[in-house]
Amino acid sequence: MMLARTDMAGATLTPEPPVLRAEGLSKAYGSITVLSDVSLDIRRGEIHAIIGENGAGKSTLMKLLSGHAAPTGGGMAMGGEPVAFADAVRAEEAGIILVHQEILLAADLTVAQNLFLGRELTRGLAVDDRAMNRRTAEVLARVGSTARPTTRVGDLPLAQRQLVQIARALLDDRKVVILDEPTAMLANDEVDALLGIARSLRDQGVSILYISHRLDEVEALADRVTVLRDGRMIGTWDAAELDQRQMAELMVGRELSDLYPAKRPPATAEPVLTVTDLSVDHGRVEGSFEVRPGEVLGIGGMIGAGRTELIEGLLGLRPSQAGSVTLNGRTIPRLDVGAMMAAGLVYLTEDRKGKGLLLNEGLGPNLVLQALNLINPGIRLNRRKETGALKTAVDEYDIRVRSLSVEAGQLSGGNQQKLLLAKVMQADPAVVIIDEPTRGIDIGNKSQIYHFIDDLVRSGKACIVFSSELPELVGLSDRVLVMRSGRFVAELTGEDITEQNVVYAAASSGRGGEGRTQR
Amino acid sequence: MSSADTTMAAPEGEGFRLRWADLAPFIALAVIVVIGALINSNFMAANNLLNVITRTAFIAIIGVGATFVIATGGLDLSIGSMLAFVVGIMIMSMNAMAPALGVWAIPAGAVVALIVGSLCGLLNGVIITVGKIEPFIVTLGTMGIFRAFITWMTDGGSLSIDNSLRGAYRPVYFGSLFGIPYPVVITIVVALIGAFVLYRTKYGRRVTAVGSNADVARFSGVHVGRVRTMAFVIQGFCVAVAAICYVPRLGAATPTTGQLWELQVITAVVIGGTLLRGGKAHIWGTVAGALILEVIANVMVLSDMVSEYLVAAVQGAIIIIAMLAHRFTSAR
Amino acid sequence: MSSADTTMAAPEGEGFRLRWADLAPFIALAVIVVIGALINSNFMAANNLLNVITRTAFIAIIGVGATFVIATGGLDLSIGSMLAFVVGIMIMSMNAMAPALGVWAIPAGAVVALIVGSLCGLLNGVIITVGKIEPFIVTLGTMGIFRAFITWMTDGGSLSIDNSLRGAYRPVYFGSLFGIPYPVVITIVVALIGAFVLYRTKYGRRVTAVGSNADVARFSGVHVGRVRTMAFVIQGFCVAVAAICYVPRLGAATPTTGQLWELQVITAVVIGGTLLRGGKAHIWGTVAGALILEVIANVMVLSDMVSEYLVAAVQGAIIIIAMLAHRFTSAR
Amino acid sequence: QDREFTIAVSIPAATHGWTGGVVYHAEQAEAQIEAAFPNVDVIVSTASSATAQVSALEDLSATNELDALVILPFTSEELTAPVETVAANGTFITVVDRGLSDDSIQDLYVAGDNIAVGANTAEWLVEQLGGEGQIVVLRGIPTVIDDERIQGFTEVIEQSDIEILDIQYANWNQDEAFTLMQDYLGKYPNIDAVWANDDDMLLGVLEAVDMAGRTDVQYALGGNGMKQVIEMVMAGDERTPISTPYPPSMIASAMYMTAAQFAGQAPMRGSFLLDAPLITPDNADQFYFPDSPF
Ligand SMILES: Nc1ncnc2c1ncn2[C@@H]1O[C@H](COP(=O)(O)OP(=O)(O)OP(=O)(O)O)[C@@H](O)[C@H]1O
Ligand SMILES: Nc1ncnc2c1ncn2[C@@H]1O[C@H](COP(=O)(O)OP(=O)(O)OP(=O)(O)O)[C@@H](O)[C@H]1O
Ligand SMILES: [Mg+2]
Ligand SMILES: [Mg+2]
């Protein structure tokens, strides 16, 4: 490495003690060490990015810093004083709050009730709902959420829940705010709003720990960058010294090839999937579309445009009906996940925790759950085949796991995503629908997944991709359909597929070209 | 916000659907009352209605407590036996205090009942939260324990309240305030307090939070164990209030007192719209649920249509049909 | 694989911890047996042990079915009444066929029982999955329905098996195969099949998936409703198998047959390590749980230490203590 | 007197008033017998269902050399075969209350007469009402006892012009009887008499009638001879002037008679049928046990 590290120098140059300091932190789960000897300074009023591959230990480090987990070695100091947090509540009292990578909200409570849970405002004996709703509305507006304070969190789409979670962290004054992949579920506008908030917090003297796999964000936002690899500290650098490619190489520890595969020649074969007049949730979302073998069809739109709804409807997971659905030359009589899968169509959900993986089950059972009938022709389970499939999948999808006998919930977020991808591919589909293909996936693996999709499509299959990451949508798709308010409003092909055009079509106000890409 | 246009439509729909579902138990109650009136003209007699409403008090009052427990994701199978036990202790202490205190033994005994009931609830709560055992198993165990104690206290027979107290105590069940029987007044007061605590206090907020997602509650600094335990204490307190209304009615505790009430109470709570998995609570729905059960039983007796052997079958079927109807009307 | 080096160590630790928790019910059983032997020397008499193990058959067989239902996240409160109903139907059909078929009426009646039992389970399952109603409420309803039917079928009295069949049927409970009583053989066969289905078949995999997270299962193309319904059918089938073993023992159905067995069965399942919220299932744990309950009851009968009135209290307390001990030993 | 004798007593658990009385008397008798005959060991075992009772029989006979068994069977049919098994070991069998399906098994039979309980009450009622009127009936838990009492009662009533307006289960439970009676009163403007086939239920019935202030109810009768009801009879209550004995103490009598077998006294065999004479103010004190819980 030719780059100068700042961690040593920083300590001598800054007279003020760091707000938060980690000294030789380690964490082991049983015999598995996931983090060893990590030392880190967080200065007052800085945005400090933590980057690393999936499973590098970023979330684990954040959990230690915020009292959500106890270290098995090393210690912490705040403002020079040693501290140890018994639980997250103590850490919050000390001014450190973590916004989890996974959504942690009570689905039955309203937005305001969630925000104020554990610290309700009261007037006399009674809770002061009006005041709480008012303050909630303010904070929500600040993070750019359109949710209402009185909506049940369970009724919100994932992205809105993520914003609510961030809003919760901003409710009180904090010293350190830790954001673990806050933008993984957000689209451009929300991301922009969030970056704005992060900057203004920094200007108020709040320190921000920021984890993201979107290196463009890191580059635009961070003051300093710490890189983790395999549970070890690689170093801390001034952000100005690093460009995205260097960050990526520090994370992965090797040179990276091109992120996106080359585009394919236009697909000319007959459509493998034709959907006409699909109507979901009693007409709230409607559309007709088709996809050809050898083609990646991207579907774009703002949050809540109804993309997820559309596909869940196609699979019969929501109340829906369709004029006709033809798949692989066969007419599908009934909208049903099982029937679709048997006919060759699979769907990878955006909600991996709630709808994708059985967090309390082992990796094998998760991997084969969808393709049980294919892997086991009889009624018996073929465990040997299952183990074999798992080994193959771990290799093929590069699932970083320290033991094959862990539960799915113990995988890092990105590795869960890879397991999920492996799971739906077990069914050997002709059409793959992927909702947010690289949510929480590190840059090295992103490229892997893009090439994987490319290989798939080149081998004559079809792929439909929904993505809130515009570069990804643009870089990957041969054709893009844009959805707005539950209807398709534009189709882009070839040269027309640009971020500006997608944003222009997706935004009802017609504000084009305001995307994050302008930076 | 770019998606404001799509956003606005949803909440309206949501809100309406929610309110509709909340009304379901009251609509069901109305339907059953109408059917009852059609089947038998005696049903609508003021006296009959008053009887039915008055005797609903027990299940409704205990149900308010059960709503708390169930909202936290718990379950209490011991309530029937606990009632019997509290009634037994109350009668014994009233009888013991009667010579010294005279009629004042009644309020003194009531206080004893409230303390004992709360302690019984505390016992359940502590075993469940400290021992981290399924509420189903713990309260099944304490159900056996309370039942055995009352059997032992009554020697298998019955334990009657002192005759000197009987007359003074009777009005608590049979008397009325401005024409409203006391048990009904007490039920309304208990439900009002319950609704206030559940919907308007910090504690109530935390009850639903714990039931909805205990992990989230814990991360937010809620003492999950304490909230759960407190719900069981409230349950015990409500059982004691029901016991206070119960004793003046028949004046005795027997080993069969309160038998199977736990099932009735839980049914009332669920019919009322509270989810068994926790996170949602409808105090007034519970009261409506309790009324529904009593009205069905009353109509069954008043009507001559089914064999005595099959009454239970028809009751079971009606409850299932009511839930089905609810599901299909509210799902639309 | 960047982390291959650390991969190897883990499975040992994991596996061992898992196995330890799985063993808990068996350890508890062993402890209770030892205590039983210390309290009463007669306890270890071969005859006594054989009796206890034999009669465990009913709860254990029904428990195997309940393990399926509970693993999918369901609950069946109707099993006790369903048993009575199936026993009633079986006796009636055997008696009706006896004149024509002679001793062959017994297997014919058994087939009828299996069909009726499965249909009863199907009824529960369909109402729950199609109607989307809490299993607790549905099976509470069908519990009343089945109980009412058996009361009606027996006219409130009892329904006995024809004397001509009694002798031929008796060995099914009292006979033995190579010294192992038939009910024990049947229990082992049922548990083996149950374990095979649960752990070694696709269906079993789906059962735990549904119980663990129904949404994930649905998104993976599992027909959640069908899996749940099937679990109730299995439950009904197991109830019928238990009924087949039950009739030769008591020879009659009464309105109280099988009363409260549902609570015993569920307790056995939970003591055995299956979680009430679904997603985990331990067939052999259930069998151990059933044995624990019967051994406790047996020891209570053999020892004369507690007042008759308090037997239930001691049983309840032992179950709670057993669960507490389990929790604290397995948490280490 | 050099041999130890073991007598097992198997009875229903104390789940309601009458069975509570049975347990009480059995425990009293156990203490007295063991005090009187040091070489006799009495084991009392309660069971909460027919199945549990069969289990208890198995347990008792598997672990003890039983010289005698005193059993109050839950049901006749279900317990016949298990008791036969015990008898096959040469155990002396005393059956109490409900007969077995095969009466050759028992050595001694001490029985109440449930049919007579119903029939005698009915006869008295027919006479008092002059053979006509309208009555309601509350029955207990669906079991043989309940069935027999109802059978005895209705058979007699059917001979008269008395109309039984309604029969419903109240499960031998005071609360349910109270509720049911309230509903009866609401449903029928005129009720001349009520029969609850057990005194526990009668207490609930009386409370409901008093509360409604109904004067048309001339007679409210129970059965079993519960302490409180006997007190009413003794006090000459107009509405409840009689009861029918079905004394739970019959278990104690049976235990004494059985113990006597082993105390060198004259062996007793055969059947002892307790009659169900009406308890009237004149003879009530014979049926009054102030210390019994029942
Ligand atoms: N409870 C646990 N038990 C065992 N291993 C665990 C547990 N939690 C996390 N791990 C392991 O620790 C490692 C680090 O996980 P962590 O979540 O910190 O990764 P990450 O850097 O946040 O990755 P990602 O970018 O995918 O979110 C992973 O290999 C994971 O499998
Ligand atoms: N702010 C909001 N408040 C409440 N409901 C919302 C909001 N925004 C969207 N929704 C609802 O979310 C659903 C559409 O979300 P869906 O997940 O299908 O959108 P999407 O286009 O897939 O977006 P995403 O990129 O988040 O996946 C609709 O039911 C819509 O009414
Ligand atoms: Mg992470
Ligand atoms: Mg989406």
pLDDT digits (tens, 9 = 90+) for C248-305: 888 888 888 888 899 889 999 988 888 888 888 999 999 999 999 889 888 887 776 6
Kindly state if the Cβ of A309 falls inside 6 Å of ligand 2: yes
Q: Which residue stretches of chain C have pLDDT < 50?
A: 1-17, 332
State the Cα–Cα distance between residues A449 and A422, nearest whole angstrom. Answer: 11
CA distance C216 to C226: 15
Find, among D146, D203, D204, the residue nearest to D175 by Cα: D204
Q: Quick check: A6 pLDDT over 60?
A: no
Share of chain A above pLDDT 70, in %: 93
Q: How far apart are CA D223 and CA A287, in angstroms?
A: 76
Q: Who has greater pLDDT, A60 or B42?
A: A60
Could you tell me if D51 and D43 are in contact, meaning their C-beta atoms sit under 8 angstroms apart?
no
If one counts every other C-beta atom within 10 angstroms of the C-beta of residue C284, the result is 19
Q: Enter the tokens of residue A180.
A: 């673990």
DSSP-assigned beta bridge partners for residue A235: A227
Mean pLDDT is lowest, of A462-471, A474-483, D5-14, D273-282, for: D273-282
Count of C-beta atoms within a 10 Å radius of residue A494: 9
What are residue A347's phi and psi, to 5 degrees? -135, 130
- D102 with D170: CB under 8 angstroms? no
Rounded Cα distance between D106 and D257, Å, is: 14
Cross-chain Cβ contact A117/B215 below 8 Å? no
pLDDT at A2 over 60: no
Looking at the DSSP bridge assignments, the partners of residue B255 are: none
Q: Which of C73, C76, C283 is nearest to C189 (CA)?
A: C283
Q: What is the pLDDT of residue A15?
A: 62
What domains appear along chain A, each with residue ranges and CATH number? Answer: 20-252 (3.40.50.300), 257-344+429-519 (3.40.50.300), 363-427 (no CATH)
Q: Which among B323, B328, B329, B330 is the top mutation candidate for probing chain C, defined by the most C β-carbons within 10 Å of its own β-carbon?
A: B323
User: From CA B298, how far away is CA B52, in angstroms rounded?
Assistant: 7
The residue whose CB lies within 8 Å of the most ligand 1 atoms, and thus the one to mutate among A59, A61, A357, is A59
Q: B186 vs B103, which has greater pLDDT?
A: B186
Which H or E run includes A9?
Answer: helix A7-13
pLDDT at A255 over 90: no
Phi, psi of D168 (to 5 degrees): -140, 160
Between CA A374 and CA C238 the distance in angstroms is 30
Number of Cα atoms under 13 Å in the Cβ half of residue D127: 6
DSSP secondary structure letter of residue C201: B
Is residue A410 in contact with ligand 1, taking CB distance under 6 Å? Answer: yes
CB within 8 Å: C302 and D14:
no
Residue A297's pLDDT is what? 93
Residue B263 buriedness (CB in 10 A; 0-12 / 13-18 / 19+): middle
Q: At what angle do helices C182-200 and C224-250 cross, to 10 degrees?
A: 170
Give yes or no for a contact between B77 and B144, defined as CB atoms under 8 angstroms apart. Answer: no
More confident site: C211 or B319: C211
Q: Give the separation between CA C22 and CA C29, rounded to whole angstroms.
A: 13
Which atom of ligand 1 lies nearest, measured to the CA of A63? Answer: 18
In this prediction, residue C282 carries a pLDDT of: 92
- Which pLDDT value is given to residue B102? 85
Contacts of B213 in chain A (CB under 8 A): 104-108
Q: Which helix (H) or strand (E) segment is C109 a member of?
A: helix C105-131
Q: CB–CB of A51/A212 below 8 Å?
A: yes
Report phi then psi at D33, rounded to 5: -65, -45
pLDDT at B19: 58
CA distances from B319 to A273, B301, B328, C141 (A): 46, 16, 14, 7
A205 contacts A216 by C-beta, under 8 angstroms:
no
Tell me the average pLDDT of chain B: 86
pLDDT digits (tens, 9 = 90+) for A198-234: 898 899 889 999 998 888 888 889 999 999 988 888 8
ipTM of this complex prediction, to 2 decimal places: 0.82
Q: Of B175-184, C79-88, D1-10, give the range with the top mean pLDDT.
A: C79-88
> Is the CB of D210 inside 8 Å of chain B's CB atoms?
no
Secondary structure (H, E, C), C69-95: HHHCCCCCCCHHHHHHHHHHHHHHHHH
* pLDDT in the model for residue C139: 93
Tokens 């014979």 locate to D286
What does chain C come to in residues?
332
> Are A150 and A136 in contact, with CB atoms under 8 Å apart?
no
A243 pLDDT tier (thresholds 50, 70, 90): confident
Could you give the CA distance from residue B161 to residue B94 in angstroms, rounded to a whole number? 7
Question: Residues near D252 by Cβ (< 8 Å), separated by ≥ 6?
Answer: D25, D26, D28, D29
* Residues paired with B180 in a beta bridge: B177
Average pLDDT over every residue of D177-196: 89
Instruction: Please return the burial class of D215, using the count of CB atoms within 10 Å of its CB with bins 0-12, 13-18 and 19+.
Output: exposed
| Burial of A173 from C-beta contacts in 10 A (0-12 / 13-18 / 19+) | exposed
Q: Which of the residue ranges A24-38, B15-29, C147-161 would you say has the lowest mean pLDDT?
A: B15-29
> Cα B179 from chain centroid?
24
More confident residue, A220 or A304: A220
pLDDT value, residue D266: 61
Q: Using one digit for the tens of pLDDT, what is the confidence trace for A142-200?
A: 888 888 999 999 888 888 888 898 898 888 888 999 999 888 777 777 788 888 888 98
With touching defined as 3+ CB pairs under 8 A, do chains A and C touch? yes
What is the helix (H) or strand (E) element at residue A83, kind and residue range?
strand A81-83
Q: Which residue of B has its CA nearest to C274?
A: B134
Interface check for B5 against chain A (CB to CB < 8 A): the answer is: yes
B51 to chain D, any CB pair closer than 8 A? The answer is yes
Pick from C278, C294, C282, C262: nearest CA to C326: C282
Nearest C-alpha neighbor of B271 from the set B18, B14, B26, B16:
B26
Chain A touched by C223 (CB under 8 Å):
yes
Q: What is the pLDDT of residue A517?
A: 30
A374 pLDDT more than 90: no
Residue D279 DSSP symbol:
B
Is pLDDT at B139 greater than 90 in this prediction? yes
CA distance D110 to B134: 47
Check if D65 contacts C (Cβ < 8 Å). no
Q: Which is more confidently placed, B100 or A517?
A: B100
CB count within 10 Å of CB D82 equals 24
Of A303, A347, A433, A469, which is best to mutate to test ligand 2, by the most ligand atoms within 8 angstroms of its C-beta? A303
Give me the CATH number covering residue C163: 1.10.3470
Q: Give the pLDDT confidence score for residue B12 in this predicted structure.
A: 36
The rounded distance, in Å, linking the Cα atoms of D196 and D71 is 27
**pLDDT above 80: residue A20:** yes
Contact by Cβ (8 Å): C285, C197: no
Distance CA D196, CA D213 (A): 19
Residue C257's Cβ-count burial label (10 Å; 0-12, 13-18, 19+) is buried
pLDDT of residue B91: 94
To the nearest 10°, the Cα dihedral for C317, C320, C323, C329?
Answer: -70
End-to-end CA distance of chain B: 32
In sequence order, what E strands does chain C have? 159-160, 176-177, 180-181, 252-253
Q: Which residues of D touch C160 (CB under 8 A)?
A: 77, 101
- Strand pairing of B159-160 and B252-253? antiparallel
Nearest ligand by distance to the CA of A413 = 1
Cβ atoms of residues D262 and D68 within 8 Å: yes
Burial of residue A498 (CB within 10 Å: 0-12, 13-18, 19+) is middle
DSSP H or E stretch at residue D111? strand D108-111
In angstroms, the separation between the Cα of residue D80 and the nearest Cα of chain C is 8
CA B127 – CA B139 distance, rounded (Å): 9
The rounded distance, in Å, linking the Cα atoms of D231 and B156 is 19
The answer to whether the CB of C113 falls within 8 A of the CB of C86 is: yes
Domain count for chain C:
1
Q: Which tokens belong to D83?
A: 């008791």
Look up the domain containing B188 and give its range.
3-331
**Inter-residue contact D118 to D111 (CB < 8 Å):** no
Nearest-CA residue for atom 27 of ligand 1: A413
Q: Which two structure tokens, joined as six digits, stand for A172?
A: 């009180």
Query: What are the start-end ranges of the H helices in chain B?
Result: 4-39, 46-71, 79-101, 105-131, 135-153, 163-169, 171-174, 182-200, 202-212, 214-219, 224-250, 261-271, 283-302, 311-331
pLDDT exceeds 80 at position A272: yes
Measured distance CA(C269)–CA(C285) in Å, rounded? 7
Q: Are D69 and D8 in contact (CB under 8 A)?
A: yes
Q: For residues A514 and A505, give the distance between their C-alpha atoms in angstroms, rounded to a whole number.
A: 12
Q: Evaluate if residue A303 carries a pLDDT over 60.
A: yes
